[in-house]
Chains A and B, each alone.
Chain A
Amino acid sequence: GENVEQHPSTLSVQEGDSAVIKCTYSDSASNYFPWYKQELGKRPQLIIDIRSNVGEKKDQRIAVTLNKTAKHFSLHITETQPEDSAVYFCAAPSGNTGKLIFGQGTTLQVKP
């Protein structure tokens, strides 16, 4: 089955700096890669996703890049703000029933 590894587990940046979180996956057939943000005490919410037919997708200050050959994808946050502080999870599909396998999570702290 699918296996997803996420790094780093914690990341601390100064406000205005960029943050990068990387995930690797094992199943070369995977074709959908979402990123979720979870604020303290709240539910995970999708912030961006990418499908395997594109290499990069941007939405304002966040972007996701995908390298299918190397089987890794990354979340990039530019001009970080304190409200970006949260836990971020990557995921990849397992099988063809829509279920996702999540990475272990990255706690991002943006210091003012």
Chain B
Amino acid sequence: NAGVTQTPKFQVLKTGQSMTLQCAQDMNHNSMYWYRQDPGMGLRLIYYSASEGTTDKGEVPNGYNVSRLNKREFSLRLESAAPSQTSVYFCASSEAQAGVGYEQYFGPGTRLTVT
């Protein structure tokens, strides 16, 4: 039982390049999330998927796109990377239900640097 896994662990991009961050969970959770973490800013939600086949914007969606490929996998794509997207990216999942909060389980993170 691996929990939440993310690839890659580290990535360096040049401005304008694109890339996709991969996330998978093996806990049969309905909901999945992408966060970015910057010093002093906490964890900010980029996009989330409440269930397979649905995605919605979070607090900071600009410059990102997501795909909920199936119940297990939720990917985050940067189409044209900018230095402001240098950050640590965390994927998370939870067995959230409407109106009921549940623990979110986080992946190990991806450290992205855009030069």
Q: Which residues of A contact B (CB under 8 A)?
A: 6, 9, 31-34, 42-46, 49, 51, 89, 93, 96-105
Contacts and interface: CB of A to CB of B under 8 A. Distances in A.
Contacts, number: 68
B90 A97 contact: no
B86 interface: no
Contacts of B109: 43
Contacts of B102: 32, 98
Contacts of A32: 100-102
A34 B43 CA distance: 14
Given A43-B90, A97-B56, A99-B58, A31 B42 contact: no
B48 A97 contact: yes
A34 B45 contact: no
Contact of B101 (A42, A89, A93, A102): A93
A24 to B, nearest CB: 14
A51 to B, nearest CB: 8
A93 B94 CA distance: 13
13 contacts: A32-B101, A34-B104, A43-B108, A46-B103, A89-B43, A96-B99, A97-B96, A98-B94, A98-B96, A100-B45, A101-B59, A102-B42, A104-B40
B40 A102 contact: no
B33 A99 contact: yes
Sort A-B residue pairs by CB-CB distance and give the 9 closest, nearest first: A98-B96, A32-B101, A43-B106, A97-B50, A102-B43, A104-B42, A96-B99, A102-B42, A93-B101
